Amino acid sequence: MWLLWGALSPSDVFAVDSCSLQIQHRLPYLLLFEDDIIVNATALFRFVEQACAHFEASEASIMQLDTYAEALLISLDGAKLITHRVREVGICKNDDQQLLDGRIMGVSVAKYKVQYNWPKNEPRPWHLSRPTNAKSGHIHRTRRITWAEMALMRMMNHPPARGLPSFGNPAFSDYMVD
- Domain map (residue ranges) of the chain: 5-145
The residues near 123 (Cβ < 8 Å, ≥ 6 apart) are 40, 43
Tell me the one-letter amino acid at 121: N
- Averaged over successive runs of 10 residues, the pLDDT of the chain (178 residues) comes to 47 80 94 86 90 90 86 92 80 71 84 87 86 56 67 66 60 51
Q: What span, in angstroms and rounded, lies between the C-alpha atoms of 11 and 36?
A: 11
Beta-bridged to residue 22, according to DSSP, are none
pTM of the predicted model as reported, rounded to 2 decimal places: 0.70
Question: How would you classify the pairing of strands 71-75 and 62-64?
Answer: antiparallel
At residue 80, the pLDDT reads: 93
Which residues make Cβ contacts (< 8 Å) with residue 57, sequence separation at least 6? none
Beta strands in 34-123 (DSSP E): 37-39, 62-64, 71-75, 109-111
Per-residue DSSP letter, 6: G
Q: How far is CA 158 from CA 97, 102, 165, 167, in A?
A: 18, 19, 14, 10
Q: What is the pLDDT of residues 121-161, one digit of tens each?
A: 989 998 888 766 555 555 556 666 676 776 666 666 666 66
123 membership: H or E segment, kind and range: none
**Given this model, what pLDDT does residue 6 score?**
45
d(CA 166, CA 168): 5
